[in-house]
């Protein structure tokens, strides 16, 4: 029995599809009959600093981030709620951990990381030196990350504000989102302040009740 030969144009079409799938099948695109279709990046909230200090988790503070169990001072009037202030080893980057009224002393509701040089009112002497060399979120974003790295990681579903040379991107999840429901909070936000397309400050956590 003679096998029917495949038309040459059909063979070329099939080969193009296979080549496209092999080249792009594991990237941020989908192959549809040889055409590349961008897959939208869905925003996923971050909840930790350096994968050791977590939102609403007081045990992570003592077990991973600051294991000497020494009580640290809470500062008022630095931000809108009481905070604890930490620095990296070189005292170039700061981490501010917010504690809202009524919460556990070490179960933080919001984190902010930035450069001391950008906030002249923030006294380095108030900061407790941590064992960390840099601060970043579990998705790998930190100070110095580029705008492209932020949007490639978190997507483009954000609101933009501009002030002078600064640009602020804000991602938001309402109380209907499963992540927010898990913590019985009002809403979640993640904010990136950039200058010349480089991240200078990241603030993320739950909205103040």
pLDDT at 105: 83
- Please check whether residues 78 and 178 belong to one and the same domain: yes
- Per-residue pLDDT of 8-45, as tens digits, reads 655 455 444 444 444 333 334 454 455 555 678 999 99
Residue 103 lies in a domain: yes
- Please check whether residues 157 and 130 belong to one and the same domain: yes
pLDDT at 17: 45
- Please check whether residues 55 and 115 belong to one and the same domain: yes
pTM listed for this prediction: 0.81
Distance CA 101, CA 99 (A): 7
DSSP assignments along 112-146, one per residue:
EEEEGGG-TTS-GGGPEE-S-SS-BBTTS-BTT-B
- Please check whether residues 27 and 52 belong to one and the same domain: no
pLDDT at 62: 87
Distance CA 206, CA 76 (A): 19
Structural domain total, the chain: 2
Are the CB atoms for 186 and 206 separated by under 8 Å? Answer: yes
- Per-residue pLDDT of 43-79, as tens digits, reads 999 999 999 999 999 999 988 898 766 678 899 999 9
pLDDT at 25: 36
User: How long a stretch of residues is the chain?
Assistant: 209
- Per-residue pLDDT of 157-190, as tens digits, reads 999 999 999 999 999 999 999 999 999 999 999 9
- Please check whether residues 109 and 165 belong to one and the same domain: yes
Q: What number is the average pLDDT over the span 75-94?
A: 95
The residue whose two tokens read 């490639």 is 152
- Expressed as residue numbers, the domain containing 94 is 48-206
- Please check whether residues 52 and 32 belong to one and the same domain: no
Residue 2 lies in a domain: no
- Please check whether residues 34 and 52 belong to one and the same domain: no
Question: What contacts 13, CB < 8 A, 6 or more positions away?
Answer: 34
- Please check whether residues 55 and 16 belong to one and the same domain: no
Residue 100 lies in a domain: yes
């Amino acid at each position: 029995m003679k096998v029917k030969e495949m038309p040459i144009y059909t063979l070329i079409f099939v080969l193009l599809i296979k080549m496209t799938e092999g080249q792009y099948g594991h990237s941020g695109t989908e192959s549809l009959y040889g055409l590349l279709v961008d897959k939208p990046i869905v925003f996923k909230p971050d909840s930790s600093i350096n994968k050791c200090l977590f939102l609403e988790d007081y045990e992570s503070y003592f077990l991973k981030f600051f294991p000497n169990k020494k009580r640290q001072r809470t500062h008022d009037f630095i931000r809108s709620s009481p905070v604890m202030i930490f620095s990296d080893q070189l005292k170039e980057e700061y981490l501010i951990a917010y504690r809202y009224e009524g919460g556990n002393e070490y179960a933080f509701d919001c984190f902010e990381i930035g450069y001391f040089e950008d906030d002249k009112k923030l006294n380095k002497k108030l900061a407790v030196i941590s064992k960390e060399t840099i601060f970043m979120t579990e998705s790998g974003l930190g100070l110095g990350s580029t705008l492209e790295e932020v949007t490639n990681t978190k997507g483009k579903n954000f609101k933009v504000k501009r002030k002078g040379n600064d640009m602020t991107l804000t991602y938001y999840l309402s109380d209907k989102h499963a992540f927010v429901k898990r913590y019985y909070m009002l809403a979640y936000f993640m904010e990136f302040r950039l200058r010349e397309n480089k991240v200078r400050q990241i603030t993320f956590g739950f909205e103040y009740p």
